[in-house]
Amino acid sequence: MPIIRPAQASDLPAITEIFNEAGVGTTASYALDPVSVDDRRAWWEQRTAAGFPVLVLEDDGEVVGYASYAQFRPLAGYARTMEHSVYVTSNRRAAGGGRMLMQALIDYARGRGVHVMIGVVDGANEDSLAFHRRLGFEESGRLPEVGRKFDRWLDVVFVTRILDDTP
Ligand SMILES: CC(C)(COP(=O)(O)OP(=O)(O)OC[C@H]1O[C@@H](n2cnc3c(N)ncnc32)[C@H](O)[C@@H]1OP(=O)(O)O)[C@@H](O)C(=O)NCCC(=O)NCCS
Protein backbone atom coordinates (compact mmCIF):
# COMPACT_ATOMS: atom_id res chain seq x y z
CA MET A 1 0.00 0.00 0.00
CA PRO A 2 1.71 3.24 -1.10
CA ILE A 3 2.05 6.05 1.43
CA ILE A 4 3.23 9.66 1.39
CA ARG A 5 5.50 10.90 4.17
CA PRO A 6 8.15 13.59 4.75
CA ALA A 7 11.57 12.67 3.38
CA GLN A 8 14.26 11.56 5.83
CA ALA A 9 18.04 11.53 5.42
CA SER A 10 17.92 7.79 4.65
CA ASP A 11 15.73 8.52 1.58
CA LEU A 12 18.37 10.69 -0.09
CA PRO A 13 20.07 7.92 -2.13
CA ALA A 14 16.68 6.99 -3.65
CA ILE A 15 15.78 10.64 -4.28
CA THR A 16 19.17 11.12 -5.96
CA GLU A 17 18.63 8.11 -8.21
CA ILE A 18 15.12 9.20 -9.19
CA PHE A 19 16.28 12.74 -9.98
CA ASN A 20 19.27 11.51 -12.00
CA GLU A 21 17.03 9.20 -14.02
CA ALA A 22 14.32 11.68 -15.04
CA GLY A 23 15.60 15.12 -14.07
CA VAL A 24 19.05 14.74 -15.58
CA GLY A 25 18.49 11.91 -18.09
CA THR A 26 15.54 13.58 -19.83
CA THR A 27 14.26 17.12 -20.38
CA ALA A 28 11.90 16.80 -17.37
CA SER A 29 14.31 19.26 -15.78
CA TYR A 30 17.08 21.30 -17.37
CA ALA A 31 19.76 19.92 -15.02
CA LEU A 32 22.66 18.80 -17.18
CA ASP A 33 24.94 16.82 -14.87
CA PRO A 34 24.18 13.95 -12.50
CA VAL A 35 23.92 15.02 -8.88
CA SER A 36 25.44 13.34 -5.83
CA VAL A 37 23.71 12.29 -2.61
CA ASP A 38 25.57 15.15 -0.89
CA ASP A 39 24.06 17.59 -3.36
CA ARG A 40 20.56 16.29 -2.63
CA ARG A 41 21.31 16.39 1.12
CA ALA A 42 22.14 20.10 0.87
CA TRP A 43 18.96 20.64 -1.16
CA TRP A 44 16.81 18.72 1.36
CA GLU A 45 18.36 20.49 4.36
CA GLN A 46 17.87 23.90 2.79
CA ARG A 47 14.25 23.20 1.83
CA THR A 48 13.26 21.76 5.20
CA ALA A 49 15.07 24.52 7.13
CA ALA A 50 13.04 27.06 5.13
CA GLY A 51 9.78 25.26 5.98
CA PHE A 52 9.23 23.85 2.49
CA PRO A 53 8.02 20.28 2.09
CA VAL A 54 10.02 17.37 0.67
CA LEU A 55 7.67 14.39 0.50
CA VAL A 56 8.31 10.85 -0.64
CA LEU A 57 6.08 8.16 -2.10
CA GLU A 58 6.91 4.86 -0.42
CA ASP A 59 5.63 1.51 -1.59
CA ASP A 60 6.52 -1.73 0.19
CA GLY A 61 9.33 0.03 2.02
CA GLU A 62 10.84 1.43 -1.20
CA VAL A 63 10.96 5.14 -2.11
CA VAL A 64 9.56 5.31 -5.66
CA GLY A 65 8.85 9.03 -6.01
CA TYR A 66 9.14 12.41 -4.37
CA ALA A 67 7.74 15.93 -4.59
CA SER A 68 8.71 19.30 -3.23
CA TYR A 69 8.12 23.00 -3.63
CA ALA A 70 9.85 26.28 -2.88
CA GLN A 71 9.05 29.91 -3.47
CA PHE A 72 8.71 30.66 -7.20
CA ARG A 73 10.99 33.73 -7.18
CA PRO A 74 12.91 35.27 -4.27
CA LEU A 75 11.28 38.68 -3.87
CA ALA A 76 8.85 38.95 -0.95
CA GLY A 77 5.82 39.62 -3.11
CA TYR A 78 6.07 36.02 -4.34
CA ALA A 79 5.82 34.59 -0.82
CA ARG A 80 2.54 32.83 -1.55
CA THR A 81 3.50 31.43 -4.96
CA MET A 82 5.32 28.10 -5.01
CA GLU A 83 7.09 26.21 -7.79
CA HIS A 84 6.80 22.46 -7.35
CA SER A 85 8.53 19.42 -8.73
CA VAL A 86 7.24 15.85 -8.78
CA TYR A 87 9.00 12.67 -9.85
CA VAL A 88 7.94 9.04 -9.94
CA THR A 89 10.49 6.39 -10.91
CA SER A 90 9.90 5.21 -14.48
CA ASN A 91 8.61 1.69 -13.75
CA ARG A 92 6.06 2.93 -11.19
CA ARG A 93 4.27 5.57 -13.24
CA ALA A 94 0.60 5.56 -14.28
CA ALA A 95 -0.36 3.94 -10.97
CA GLY A 96 -1.66 6.98 -9.12
CA GLY A 97 1.58 7.82 -7.27
CA GLY A 98 2.08 11.21 -8.92
CA ARG A 99 -1.46 12.22 -8.01
CA MET A 100 -0.91 11.11 -4.38
CA LEU A 101 2.28 13.18 -4.17
CA MET A 102 0.70 16.29 -5.72
CA GLN A 103 -2.40 16.01 -3.55
CA ALA A 104 -0.24 15.82 -0.42
CA LEU A 105 1.83 18.78 -1.62
CA ILE A 106 -1.33 20.80 -2.32
CA ASP A 107 -2.78 19.92 1.11
CA TYR A 108 0.47 21.06 2.73
CA ALA A 109 0.42 24.27 0.66
CA ARG A 110 -3.22 25.03 1.49
CA GLY A 111 -2.44 24.67 5.18
CA ARG A 112 0.21 27.38 4.81
CA GLY A 113 -1.72 29.97 2.84
CA VAL A 114 -0.14 29.27 -0.55
CA HIS A 115 -2.14 31.03 -3.24
CA VAL A 116 -0.67 29.62 -6.47
CA MET A 117 1.28 26.51 -7.40
CA ILE A 118 3.42 26.66 -10.54
CA GLY A 119 4.92 23.81 -12.51
CA VAL A 120 7.69 24.69 -14.93
CA VAL A 121 7.37 21.99 -17.56
CA ASP A 122 9.35 21.30 -20.71
CA GLY A 123 7.07 22.07 -23.66
CA ALA A 124 7.60 18.56 -25.10
CA ASN A 125 7.00 16.73 -21.80
CA GLU A 126 3.56 15.47 -22.78
CA ASP A 127 3.35 13.18 -19.72
CA SER A 128 3.80 16.06 -17.32
CA LEU A 129 1.53 18.41 -19.27
CA ALA A 130 -1.26 15.80 -19.35
CA PHE A 131 -0.69 14.98 -15.68
CA HIS A 132 -0.95 18.62 -14.64
CA ARG A 133 -4.06 19.21 -16.77
CA ARG A 134 -5.64 16.22 -15.02
CA LEU A 135 -4.81 17.77 -11.65
CA GLY A 136 -6.53 21.04 -12.50
CA PHE A 137 -3.54 23.08 -13.69
CA GLU A 138 -3.84 25.34 -16.69
CA GLU A 139 -1.17 26.42 -19.14
CA SER A 140 -0.39 30.05 -18.35
CA GLY A 141 2.54 30.81 -20.57
CA ARG A 142 5.11 29.38 -22.95
CA LEU A 143 8.63 30.78 -23.11
CA PRO A 144 10.26 29.80 -26.39
CA GLU A 145 13.83 28.48 -26.48
CA VAL A 146 14.78 29.47 -22.93
CA GLY A 147 16.42 26.11 -22.18
CA ARG A 148 19.19 24.20 -23.91
CA LYS A 149 19.82 20.50 -23.37
CA PHE A 150 20.81 17.59 -25.62
CA ASP A 151 22.02 20.14 -28.22
CA ARG A 152 18.66 21.73 -28.82
CA TRP A 153 16.62 24.70 -27.66
CA LEU A 154 13.72 23.95 -25.37
CA ASP A 155 10.46 25.79 -24.75
CA VAL A 156 9.21 25.92 -21.20
CA VAL A 157 5.52 25.95 -20.22
CA PHE A 158 4.28 27.43 -16.96
CA VAL A 159 1.29 25.52 -15.58
CA THR A 160 -0.58 27.13 -12.70
CA ARG A 161 -3.31 26.30 -10.25
CA ILE A 162 -4.84 28.85 -7.91
CA LEU A 163 -5.45 27.20 -4.55
CA ASP A 164 -7.30 29.83 -2.56
CA ASP A 165 -9.64 32.67 -3.34
CA THR A 166 -8.12 35.36 -1.11
CA PRO A 167 -8.76 38.71 -2.80
C1 LIG B 1 4.54 13.41 -14.36
C2 LIG B 1 4.59 12.21 -13.41
C3 LIG B 1 5.06 12.67 -12.03
C4 LIG B 1 3.17 11.63 -13.29
O5 LIG B 1 3.20 10.62 -12.28
P6 LIG B 1 2.30 9.29 -12.38
O7 LIG B 1 2.46 8.53 -11.13
O8 LIG B 1 2.59 8.59 -13.65
O9 LIG B 1 0.84 9.93 -12.48
P10 LIG B 1 -0.53 9.29 -11.94
O11 LIG B 1 -0.57 7.83 -12.28
O12 LIG B 1 -0.73 9.64 -10.51
O13 LIG B 1 -1.58 10.07 -12.83
C14 LIG B 1 -2.42 11.10 -12.30
C15 LIG B 1 -3.40 11.50 -13.37
O16 LIG B 1 -2.70 12.07 -14.48
C17 LIG B 1 -2.99 11.35 -15.66
N18 LIG B 1 -1.77 11.17 -16.44
C19 LIG B 1 -0.54 10.92 -15.97
N20 LIG B 1 0.34 10.76 -17.00
C21 LIG B 1 -0.41 10.91 -18.11
C22 LIG B 1 -0.10 10.83 -19.50
N23 LIG B 1 1.13 10.59 -19.94
N24 LIG B 1 -1.11 11.01 -20.40
C25 LIG B 1 -2.36 11.26 -19.98
N26 LIG B 1 -2.72 11.34 -18.68
C27 LIG B 1 -1.75 11.16 -17.76
C28 LIG B 1 -3.47 9.98 -15.21
O29 LIG B 1 -4.32 9.40 -16.15
C30 LIG B 1 -4.15 10.29 -13.90
O31 LIG B 1 -5.48 10.69 -14.08
P32 LIG B 1 -6.62 10.22 -13.03
O33 LIG B 1 -5.99 10.24 -11.66
O34 LIG B 1 -7.67 11.25 -13.17
O35 LIG B 1 -7.00 8.86 -13.44
C36 LIG B 1 5.51 11.09 -13.96
O37 LIG B 1 5.16 10.84 -15.30
C38 LIG B 1 6.99 11.43 -13.92
O39 LIG B 1 7.65 11.27 -12.90
N40 LIG B 1 7.55 11.89 -15.06
C41 LIG B 1 8.98 12.21 -15.14
C42 LIG B 1 9.33 13.42 -14.32
C43 LIG B 1 8.51 14.62 -14.71
O44 LIG B 1 8.29 14.90 -15.87
N45 LIG B 1 8.09 15.33 -13.67
C46 LIG B 1 7.37 16.58 -13.84
C47 LIG B 1 8.37 17.66 -14.06
S48 LIG B 1 7.52 19.23 -14.18
pLDDT, tens digit (0-9, with 9 covering 90-100), for 96-113:
999 999 999 999 999 999
Which CATH number fits the domain 3-162, given the four candidates 3.40.630.30, 3.40.640.10, 3.30.497.10, 3.10.450.50? 3.40.630.30
Domain boundaries defined on the chain = 3-162
Q: From CA 145, how far away is CA 148, in angstroms rounded?
A: 7
Average pLDDT, rounded, for the chain: 97
Residue 91 — pLDDT band, cuts 50, 70, 90?
very high
CA of 156 from ligand 1 middle (Å) equals 18
Q: Is the pTM of this model over 0.95?
A: yes
Q: Give the position, in ligand 1's atom list, of the atom nearest the Cα of 121.
A: 48
- Cβ atoms 85, 18 nearer than 8 A: no
20 touches 34 (CB < 8 A):
yes
Alpha-carbon distance of 30 to 122, in angstroms, equals 8
The total of other beta-carbon atoms located within 10 Å of residue 113's CB is: 11
Helical H segments across 10-156, by residue range: 12-18, 37-49, 97-110, 126-134
Q: What is the 77 CA–ligand 1 centroid distance (Å)?
A: 31
